[in-house]
Structure 1
Amino acid sequence: MMKHQKKPENIDCRDSLVEMLSFLTQEERVQLTAMLARKGVETILYLLNPENQALLELTEDKKRAALRMESISEKQFREILSKIEISTRETISEVDHSDTNIRARA
């Protein structure tokens, strides 16, 4: 969750932003507007992706683990992924067997 910074009482942030933008030429403002629009659309498309939504909804521990994956070698990554997939298949198999046993008893 984003933390909001407390705005100093005596400074209007909009005025500061307008002042900063006033240093740009008309062409630079046009380019900035186009870039912000493009990046905004790219961000929205990114957020609409179900896989990205799932990543954003991970617990903090799982997010940290996912981010650590970026710094390991491709070989280490494949080994870890293989172990996770084996573990997942075993868990699914155990659930399937459990469901079968429950239905057999009914």
Structure 2
Amino acid sequence: MKSMLLALCAAATVLPGAAAVANTAESPFVRSESVVRADDLDLTRPADRLRLETRLATAAEEVCGRGMDRLHNVAKDKARTCKAEVLAESRAQYQTLVARAESARTLALN
């Protein structure tokens, strides 16, 4: 199973991923996990939210197979499915991080 790690400050949240396109021992195109840092972002800002979304998409590509679109159609389809599943599963974590940032901002303003 593939996973992404989302690091926020000192805590790390595991984002379980979709089934592997190929085992990393078998393929140089995939990784077993990827770390996505968010501790340098202000998630109350839309630009930083976009940066995090871009990082998540890049990590999903690393976990599910970078460059698979240049290979066989079956590999391309598996990588596309894997990436969609990983991003869907990471969406809840993303929304939690944004909500925490918004909540902290609201508390700071009060």
Higher helix share: 1
> When the two structures are superposed, what TM-score results if normalisation uses the length of structure 2?
0.31
Q: Structure 1 length as normaliser, TM-score?
A: 0.32
Q: Could you say which structure has the larger radius of gyration?
A: 1
